[in-house]
Each structure stands twice: as C-alpha cells, then as structure tokens.
Structure 1
C-alpha cells in the first residue's frame, strides 16, 4: 500500500457489509485507511445479542470506525424486534403539536409542549437503545417539509411548517444528545417539495433560491448550532446549480457553510441512488460520484447495499478513490477527519439491562407514542 495512503489523514468512505457478522473480506475493507465507517441495514440484524457482538467486532478491528444506521422511527427503523421500541413516524409528533392541549390534569398528550417533550423522549429512546447495542449514530432527524406530494418523505417529516419542524427536530436532537448520540439533519436544502424519489429518479425542484431559503432550508439556519451533521438531497435545483445539492459547491460551500454558517460534517446521500448516478447529463461511476461529492464539500460519502454478493462495487470504489487521491483529484482533509471523529460518542453507553431500569429511560418510554 502506498505510504501516502497508509498515512492518510482523511477516511471519507462509509460502506456496508452483507451479513450478520464480519467476513474476512469485510475486515480487509474496513481496515483500509480511506474507510471511516459503515452503515447497517435490516439484513445485518438477527437479534440484540448478534448486533452487539457485530458492533464489538467492528470496534475491536478499528475503534475509530463510525457505526451508522437509518433508524428514524415509523417505516424507517432497521431494528424492530427483541426489545427495540417501535418508534412513531415523525408526522405523529407534528400532529400532536397541532392538537388542542388537554390540560395538565389529562393523560392525553397534545399541544406544542407535549409534542416537544415527546420528541425529546423519542430521541432518547432511539439513541439509548442503539448505543446499548454498540451503534454510534443514526441518520436522523428528517428536516424536509411535508408538502403532501413526496411519497419517499411523507410521514417521515414532522410537518409543513418549518418553525414546527425546527422545534420538534431540536427536541429530538436534545434526546439524542442525552443518550450520547450525534444527529444528522437531512436532506438539505429540502426533498419534500418534489414528488420524484431520488432513489429511482433524478428529482428537479424549479423554485428560486429565495423561496427555498425562506421555507425548506430555514431549519438548517435555525438549528445550525445543534446539528452535528447534514446530508444533502440528490435533488437538482436548476435556478441555483445544474448539479444535485450533494455535488454542488454552491449549495455546500457557498450556502450551507458560507451563508448558513454550518460547521459540522456533511455526508453524501447513498451514491448508488439514481439521483447520484448522473452528473451534468452523463452517467458516472461510483468513484466519479464520490470524487465529485468530496470536491463539492462533502466530508464523507456513502455507498450502500453494494456489498451483497462478491461486493465488487465496494472494492472498485476503494481502489478508485485511492487512485484519485494519488492523482490529486481530491485532497484529504484534516478538518473533514476531525468532523468525522467528532461524531463518535464521547461517553460510555448504558448497557441494555441497566437501561431497561434506568429512570430517565422509563420516563421517556411513557412519552413515546
């Protein structure tokens, strides 16, 4: 391995594994210096004991690897059995906010203050249960606004009003923080307005920058000081840039970091999604997409669901990004690496058995719908 790679100061790749334990090939991939973490899916789950053992084996291999998962609640929750709490979709919290308060003497949970309390409880339960099994962070909360037209967002959103979305998201982030878990606001600057699903299509949002900043992107301004990381949308906003937001230095550098002042980590969304496979009208490889995302300002890039089978796309991306680094097509960033490491938990997790009788956890469960 070239010394320039062996001593790389930036590990931007977040990959996945095929099974419920680490194979020899998984270990080789995860030990590569450009790999900074992995994302888990339902196929990596059998039960809590297996998940805990898997996370322990990952940390034994490399303690600095960031173990991630999409675990929002509702229909996006990877682990749902063997004691994991079924968390509500975020829309349920938005609906609670809008409901008429019933008064402190009532057991009914309704109104803005109950909704923010419930959001904090959801964040704590979500984070504490994952951390008890060894998972470092979840890609949550969704900050997209619900316009009623996006099936892929839908009830994953807190609601239509950016003020309500921001306050409920902040409360959820507070719960995550209490559990020792970082957060990830997604999908910047907003995926909720377009009907197309960026997993299978390339959505185009024709609105002006002024309109987007006033509405969809507003939560990113209001939550900038408490948001650990951001994931941009694979959506094209042609009145701002011809490239999707996650590949646009205008969106990531000029607007998110410059205008909105965001200083945390930026993850690309999954590079295998259709919205990431075409840039400037051309079909691109995973390596080309990763380099474009890093050049645009992403600190970390995800490639999901490509380890199944022999996992050739994962190996091709690792090799391709290594070659691109040696050719100076992208530059390792010490600042990006600091942002990645800042997402790792800074305090020990509470074990599962102790968590089940912890007063703060038991109180939070009472507020989870």
Structure 2
C-alpha cells in the first residue's frame, strides 16, 4: 500500500531512522532540495537508497528544477537553466522558436534528471502574474498573457514527459495575483470570481490534461474566504476539479510553509479532506514527517488511479538530440540579453 504523502530527508544520505521511516510508512514519493545534494554520485546513491528503503517500483522522486531562481541542481552537478521569463522574452519576437526551445530544453532537463533517479519535476509554473503582485512569481512565469503562458508551459510539460519525467503544474488555481509570499504569510486575493476565471484560472483550464498539479496556499475570498485553496474543499471541488476540470494527481504545496497554521498532522488532514490526493512535506524534519504520515490515508479509489496514471508517465521515449538542445539553451540566453 502507498501512503498519501511525499516526504523529504534531512541531509545527503539516509539516516537509520529515516530508512526505517520510509520502509514503515511507504510514502508516495520523496522530494530533493539543495541540502540533499553534494555530488552527482552522492545524489544518485541517495535516490537509490530511498527507493530501496521503500522497496516499490511505483515511487516518485521529485525536485523543483524550474530554472532561474528555483533550481535545486546547479553547477557543477547540473547546468544552469534560464528562468521562464527568458522564453517569454523570446516569445515576443518569435513564438515558434520560443515554444520549440522550451520543449527541447525541458526534454534535455528531464533526461538529465533521470540520470539521478528523479522522475517528477515540480514545473512548469502556470501562474499569471499581475502588476503589484509579490515578486515570488515574477520571472518564474511564462508571461502575463493566457495564450502565451499556455503555449510555453505546455511545451515544457510535454518536453518533460517525453523524457519520462512527470510535470507538476503549479500553483493551481493561480498564485500570480498574491501580494505575499506563502512561504512566510498567507496571501489573500479579493479579485471577483468572474475576473479570476478569465485570467488566473484560465491557463490551468487549458492545461487540465497534465498529469499532476500543486495547489496554492492562497485564499480566494470571493469563493472561499475561510481557507486557502490547498485546504478548501470548496476551491478543490468547485474550482480545481470543477471549473478548471483538472483530474490528475493533486498535491498540496509544502505543509511546512508559514501560510498554514496548526499542528503538522492537522495540516496534512486538512489538505486531504479538501480533496488533494497527496500531502507534500519538504523540510526533512522527522518528527513532523511522522505527524504527516499519521494524518494521511492509504491511496485508494480515484486518488490511487491518479497516482498510477502519473507513474505511467515515467516511461521515457527515444533520447533527444542533446547537441541541438544545448545549442537552443545557449541561444535562449543570448537572445534574452539582446532583447533586454
């Protein structure tokens, strides 16, 4: 059986307690942060050790490898990737080129992640930033136009899947309008529902067929003033599963973020009760992880089917033309500098 949560680890290798925890609790996945990365060989060994502790093939190994500011693997472990805004800049003058480059670089990124045993990337960001919003999204976004964001984010998602890596669109139903960073505070968006439907929610609706999504710790007061989307059954059922039509694997954003309050077990229970399939806990604190594990069920029913569908996306196709992808990666950076 698979438990409905994803956990982190504290360092660059598994402790004996962590090894027992993964074996006993059987989480759906494990997420990597910079604290877990020392060398290429070490990282591959860590992911292999976590998989061995769990002892299942249907296991997700996650990372945030968006590019730009949010990139857990950096030189000399992995190459630097441009932020989403670099593709947005290219799109202004040559949409076809920008879409092709985004796809090729995402596929290359996916193939390189697979070398470390990583099969899920928490990207692309599908948020639509607006003037005056907090800078937490800013250059992580593919633009401010719905059609442009959809085209580029779709290219990234499809590029990752071609490499056998599951994309996670985020932060559903939209973090771009938030005036606070949910890592540190709970953002409240008071925009009317009809405006949100035409803007923030629209890119997610166009990309609803993607296999996985991460919820936003953001209150949309016009729809549910009492809870952020991640813990709101109204937002999950009425907006994410309903209006947007997303029926893939739904995970919460990190439970340890300060946008949420209360004991860790209660937070885990809240996101599952709201309708997320799995709860995400990132900081590697073992006591908190035990509390999360105690607060979630085993995957079953629709949640189990969505998890299985995500796992099915980890079958890679033929390898990409790496030389061509690297040329595009370099050219995106040059074009952005020239445009800027």
TM-score by length of 2: 0.90
Instruction: Report deviation, 1:77.
Output: 0.5
Q: How far apart are the structure 2 equivalents of 1:359 and 1:91? A: 24
State the superposition RMSD in angstroms.
1.8
Instruction: Report deviation, 1:83.
Output: 5.1
Aligned pairs (5 A) from 1:212-361: 212-225=196-209, 227-241=210-224, 242-277=226-261, 284-307=262-285, 311-318=286-293, 320-321=294-295, 332-344=299-311, 345-347=313-315, 360-361=321-322
Aligned pairs (5 A) from 1:72-87: 72-82=66-76, 84-87=78-81
Q: How far apart are the structure 1 equivalents of 2:28 and 2:122? A: 16
Q: How far apart are the structure 2 equivalents of 1:219 and 1:44? A: 33
Aligned to 1:170: 154
Q: Is the 8 A contact 2:161 2:314 kept in 1?
A: no
- Name which of 36, 39, 60 aligns with 1:44: 36
Q: Alpha-carbon deviations, 1:117-142, whole Å to 9, x = none?
A: 11101211221110111111110000
Q: How far apart are the structure 1 equivalents of 2:270 and 2:320? A: 47
Q: How far apart are the structure 2 equivalents of 1:239 and 1:83? A: 45
Q: How far apart are the structure 2 equivalents of 1:37 and 1:10? A: 9
Q: Is the 8 A contact 1:294 1:301 kept in 2?
A: yes
- Name which of 24, 46, 51 aligns with 1:32: 24
Q: How far apart are the structure 2 equivalents of 1:34 and 1:244? A: 28
Q: Are residue 365 (structure 1) and residue 332 (structure 2) matched?
A: no
Aligned to 1:124: 107
TM-score by length of 1: 0.84
Number of residue pairs aligned between Structure 1 and Structure 2: 325
- Where has structure 1 moved over 3 Å in runs of 4 or more? none
Q: How far apart are the structure 2 equivalents of 1:216 and 1:252? A: 15
Q: Is the 8 A contact 1:124 1:361 kept in 2?
A: no
Q: Alpha-carbon deviations, 1:5-54, whole Å to 9, x = none?
A: xxxx4521111101111111111111234521111100111111111111
Aligned to 1:354: none
Q: How far apart are the structure 1 equivalents of 2:208 and 2:178? A: 24
Q: How far apart are the structure 1 equivalents of 2:10 and 2:102? A: 33
Q: Is the 8 A contact 2:202 2:244 kept in 1?
A: no
Q: How far apart are the structure 2 equivalents of 1:141 and 1:30? A: 28
Q: How far apart are the structure 2 equivalents of 1:340 and 1:169? A: 22
Instruction: Report deviation, 1:299.
Output: 0.3
Contiguous gaps of at least 5 residues in structure 1 = 1-8, 100-110, 278-283, 326-330, 351-357
- Name which of 58, 63, 69 aligns with 1:69: 63
Q: How far apart are the structure 1 equivalents of 2:157 and 2:316? A: 18
Between 60-69 and 17-26, the greater mean CA deviation after superposition: 60-69
Q: How far apart are the structure 2 equivalents of 1:75 and 1:160? A: 19
Contiguous gaps of at least 5 residues in structure 2 = 333-340
Q: Is the 8 A contact 2:277 2:299 kept in 1?
A: no
Instruction: Report deviation, 1:185.
Output: 0.8
Instruction: Report deviation, 1:74.
Output: 0.4
